[in-house]
Amino acid sequence: MNKENLQKIIELRHELHEYPELSGCEASTKRKLMNFIEANTRLAVIDCGKWFYASRYVEGTKAIAFRADMDALPMDEAISLPYASKNPNVSHKCGHDGHSSALCGLALELESMPVNRSVYLIFQHAEETGAGARECSSLLRERSISEIYAFHNWSGWPEKSIVVKNGVCQFASAGITLRFTGRTSHASEPEKGINPAYAIAELVREIEAMKDGIFCTIVNINVGGKNFGISPGEGEISLTVRAETESEMRKAFNGIITRAEELAASRSMTLTKNASDYFPDTSSDSQCVETVRASAKSLGLDVIDMAEPIRASEDFGRYTKQIHGAIFYIGNGGDYPAIHTGNYDFNDNILETAVDMFTEIYRRS
């Protein structure tokens, strides 16, 4: 990668990190990225509201796309950085600042190489909630895009290594909040009320016993308050269900809802359901994986075959359910802090690796 371009995207990454924005609220981040591409390239930049894309069209060719996400997490910055987050309880602890900066790096590199195939760079919002790809993936049909690529940084693998997997590489998941409404009573006369705590407790025990590749994480339980004179009449439980495939996840998800409905009915309570953060499984096409593998080898990078899918979800699966594509992973280092933790910051050492991979994939396409 051109070293001047590398320095530009490192500085861009730090600026994005300093002013992070949550899913669906990335207006300033989007504008910074659009301005960067408009100021440094001749690519067409198309504003699509919450997201945008940059492109160069070549008549009579099959289009290829690359995607990056740009939202942050609701977490405080826990480490001292010269470019630390200035937004309280918001920080880039998943590395989307690095993903977007790397895609800007590809835009810069395209300026100095032959562009003989239509290319689209998708800057996606709201990956963390699963909402972004649902909107952005419409571009695939609109522009007759035939294949798409993305990367994610990942800790635990050697720095700059390229990790790939054919088929499912990240689990499907969905969140749900189940709210039980019974009847409040005086704590001295609990028999006159309907306390949802017991139904929730029973549901928790059954969830704990779930097996067969289903992973269910209880993220919140709320029943009543610390008032010792009141037996509460309302309570809720929030949980995430995940499995290797979307069909397995849906089956478990619907099973939990059915059981909650049975528990509510048996105790004369009403149940309301609020689903959120839906992610299909993310799969990579074997031919596209081979393109990634060949690109890495031509760059002299180590290639690692992932043995098992990652349980964490990624909404890139919405793209690869429509067209051929692949997501690959770039190692942060064996002992590097994990994403979604306070000590994490995107590893600038892998920015050039990401851009070189995108560039080589484009050359080979």
The tens digit of pLDDT for each residue in 178-191 reads 999 999 999 999 99
pLDDT band at 175 (very low <50, low <70, confident <90, very high): very high
The answer to whether residue 215 scores a pLDDT higher than 90 is: yes
Q: What is the mean pLDDT of the chain?
A: 97
Q: Any idea which architecture 3-169+281-364 has in CATH? A: 3-Layer(aba) Sandwich (3.40)
Percentage of residues of the chain with pLDDT beyond 90: 99
Beta bridge partners of 181: 234, 270
The answer to whether residue 159 scores a pLDDT higher than 90 is: yes
- Residues 341-360 have a mean pLDDT of 98
Please give the pLDDT value at position 289: 98
Please give the pLDDT value at position 51: 98
Taking only the tens place, the pLDDT of each residue in 123-134 is 999 999 999 999
Please give the pLDDT value at position 271: 98
Say if 3-169+281-364 and 172-278 have the same CATH topology. no
The answer to whether residue 365 scores a pLDDT higher than 90 is: no
Q: What angle do CA 162, 165, 167 make, to 5 degrees?
A: 150
Taking only the tens place, the pLDDT of each residue in 71-105 is 999 999 999 999 999 999 999 999 999 999 999 99
Backbone angles phi, psi at 140, to 5 degrees: -60, -45
Please give the pLDDT value at position 151: 98
- Residues 242-261 have a mean pLDDT of 98
Please give the pLDDT value at position 327: 98
Please give the pLDDT value at position 68: 98
Q: Cβ atoms within 10 A of the Cβ of 89, count?
A: 11
Instruction: Specify the higher pLDDT residue, 365 or 306.
Output: 306
Beta bridge partners of 69: 124
Say how many CA atoms lie within 13 Å of 53 toward its Cβ: 22
Q: Any idea which architecture 172-278 has in CATH? A: 2-Layer Sandwich (3.30)
The answer to whether residue 140 scores a pLDDT higher than 90 is: yes
Q: For the chain, what are the domain ranges?
A: 3-169+281-364, 172-278
Amino acid code (one letter) for 331: G
- Residues 124-148 have a mean pLDDT of 97
Amino acid code (one letter) for 64: I
pLDDT band at 332 (very low <50, low <70, confident <90, very high): very high
**The token pair that represents 321 in the structure block:** 């359910």
The answer to whether residue 204 scores a pLDDT higher than 90 is: yes
